[in-house]
Amino acid sequence: MRAVVITKPGDPDVLEVADRPARDAGAGEVRIAVKAAAVNPTDIGLRQRGGGDLPAPWVPGMDAAGVVESAGPGVDRLSVGEEVMAAVSPRRPEGGAQQELLVVPAASVVPIPDGATLAQAATLPMNGLTARLAVDRLGLARGQTLGVTGAAGAVGGYVVQLASSEGIRVIAISREDDEDLVRGFGADEFVPRGDNFVAAVRDLTGGGVDAVVDGALIGGGVLPAVRDGGRIIYVRGFVGEPERGVSTELISVRAYGTESEKLRSLARLVEDGTLSLRVAETFPPDRAADAHAQLEASGLRGRLVLAF
């Protein structure tokens, strides 16, 4: 089978398409004929820093959508020929999602949302589950206030939509020209990101939000926007010193990687219009380097997808 591989740590030119061995699905696993795989910032991290103890080449990708090609013993929830999506870790010997035949635990796989294309479905698993985990970990009640940095991005956009649908007051923080987009996600208030965003958030809330999900990786700079005793969820390591009783938590999507019902619930929210799927552009696998370069240029509103 063909796979996108990272031959060594480096710039986008270390990406290439190579033949890789395919294995059969084992007990509790399915093999997916991948038709679409999203490109995410985690792929850039793997390309730049390598796979640690795993020997090169590395196969990137955390989101796949395709067709169930075969199922191992004990799998009765999914059927051969069914269109599905899956969350997968690239930090395993057989690699991540960007390969033509992907073997994953059935617990990481659910049918794609009704009405979605495979390319659209490939944008949901990792970012949607990360957003779901962030909102779940905060456990805010209806009427409490959540700040979301990077609210126009993949994770941030899903957080805004999930929190708004659950009655949480959302203050979206993003570029000035993103206001219409994030208000369309359901944000109650919008604050342009810039030197004065903290003061604007404190003015809107009378002292700070109850919590922040830091999708823009601002780090310690977001602390003053949170009330005393509030909480911050990070998707990358926190840089800074907590203060005023504000607690910080780093989350990893791996916590929900085999929570099939969590992923299925996200699909249902797509079907009822609560969540939107955004594909910015698709590329063939042999242009994975172009996708990485475009992602690193920043400013994307939607996900890049490799179409096999």
pLDDT recorded at residue 239: 66
pLDDT greater than 90 at residue 45 = yes
pLDDT at 77: 93
Residues of the chain within CATH 3.40.50.720 domain(s) are 127-253
Q: Which CATH class is domain 2-124+277-307?
A: alpha beta
Cβ–Cβ < 8 Å for 17, 286:
yes
Instruction: List, for residues 233-275, the tens digit of each pLDDT value.
Output: 998 876 677 789 899 999 999 999 999 999 999 999 999 999 9
Reply yes or no on whether the pLDDT at 49 is more than 70.
Answer: yes
Q: Is the pLDDT of residue 98 over 80?
A: yes
194-244 tens-digit pLDDT: 889 999 999 999 999 999 999 988 888 899 999 999 999 998 876 677 789
Residue limits of CATH 3.90.180.10 in the chain: 2-124+277-307
Residue 37 pLDDT class (50, 70, 90 cuts): very high
pLDDT at 183 over 80: yes
% of the chain beyond a pLDDT of 90:
91
> Which token pair is 42?
């985690």
Mapped to the 3 state alphabet, what secondary structure does 82-139 carry?
CEEEEECCCCCCCCCCCECEEEEEHHHEEECCCCCCHHHHCCCHHHHHHHHHHHHHHC
* Least confident span in 63-77, 131-145, 207-221: 207-221
Sequence-separated (6 or more) residues with CB below 8 Å from residue 16 = 4, 5, 7
CB 78 within 8 A of CB 70: no
Q: What superfamily in CATH does domain 127-253 come from?
A: NAD(P)-binding Rossmann-like Domain (3.40.50.720)
Give me the chain's average pLDDT, please.
95
Helix (H) or strand (E) holding 30: strand 29-39
* 298 pLDDT higher than 80: no
pLDDT value of residue 242: 76
